[in-house]
Amino acid sequence: MPESTRNRHALCIGINDYPGTGADLFGCVNDALDWQSALTARGFRATTLLDSGATGAAIRAGIRELVGAAKWGDKVVITYSGHGTWVPDRDGDEADRRDEALCPYDVDTRGVIIDDELYALFTAKARGVRIVMISDSCNSGTVARFASFGTADATSRVRYLPPEAHLTTGQFAQARALAGRPRSKPQRDSALLLAGCRDFEYSYDARIAGRANGAFTRAALDTLVELPRAATFTDWHRAIARDLPSQRFPQTPQLYGSTTQRAWEVL
């Protein structure tokens, strides 16, 4: 029996405007709307958080609400298109002592959402709930300036907000000085992550066929419609990898999750 929209829920986040940072983007809202359309067509009840609606508090509350309401057999998808960055790791669980982070609309005044927070939100799920996060952002430990990189054309930008744009001078100095081995901590079943690039790469915000989109989002959506019904996330990742990296967009999409999660049927 086909699954109803009651057990398929999605939150699609897209942020172009970053007040106070001088680092606005142009394709992220389109990404979120495109994901909403694609997921709705697949039976998801999909909502959006866009620009000023995508504050840190709103993103946390939106994820918490979806995960908290999900029951055994439900599917939850979170898509994020916007800037990624890093902050100093405080609990020693990162080998490079840097926590990857997402940048909400109010990052300049309210700060970032770190990967440890997302982990806590996702692992609060009930047993048997499948959570997938699709992130089209840079989550890089490399210090860089906000600019076009590599061989991308003049209409492309990287979705990376350098830490010095949102950390104090003291925090940034501390972050660069931190070093050490991670402490082990218990791991719980979290979300399956489909990401736009490796930690040391950039996800590109670009114009593709005259329209603003993320390079990864466009490749993911274009390949999604071509997949057979029984395709897995591993199959989807392989299909995306035929398009990226490319000369124009030198980013390598990643799939992070357990063997079981990678074998889930796509969406």
Domains contained in the chain, CATH given: 7-262 (3.40.50.1460)
Q: Facing residues of 21 across strands?
A: none
As annotated, the active-site residues are: 83, 138
pLDDT, residue 95, reads 45
In 3D space, the residue among 138, 121, 159, 160 whose CA is nearest the CA of residue 29 turns out to be: 159
pLDDT 10s per residue in the chain (267 long)? 344 556 999 999 999 999 999 999 999 999 999 999 999 999 999 999 999 999 999 999 999 999 999 999 999 999 999 999 887 766 544 444 567 889 999 999 999 998 889 999 999 999 999 999 999 998 643 222 222 323 344 456 777 676 666 655 565 566 555 544 444 444 556 899 999 998 888 899 999 999 999 999 999 999 999 999 999 999 999 999 999 999 999 999 999 999 999 999 999
User: Which residue's entry shows tokens 């898509």?
Assistant: 79
pTM of the model: 0.85
DSSP 232: B
The alpha carbon of 67 is separated from its chain's Cα centroid by a whole number of angstroms, namely 17
Structure tokens at 238: 């392989």
Pairing of strands 75-81, 130-136: parallel
Give the model's pLDDT for residue 26.
95
Question: What one-character DSSP code corresponds to residue 163?
Answer: G
Site of tokens 């830490």: 163
Nearest-5° angle of CA 14, CA 106, CA 62? 55
pLDDT value at position 120?
93
Helices 233-240 and 215-224, axial angle in degrees (round to 10): 120
> Can you give the pLDDT at residue 104?
97
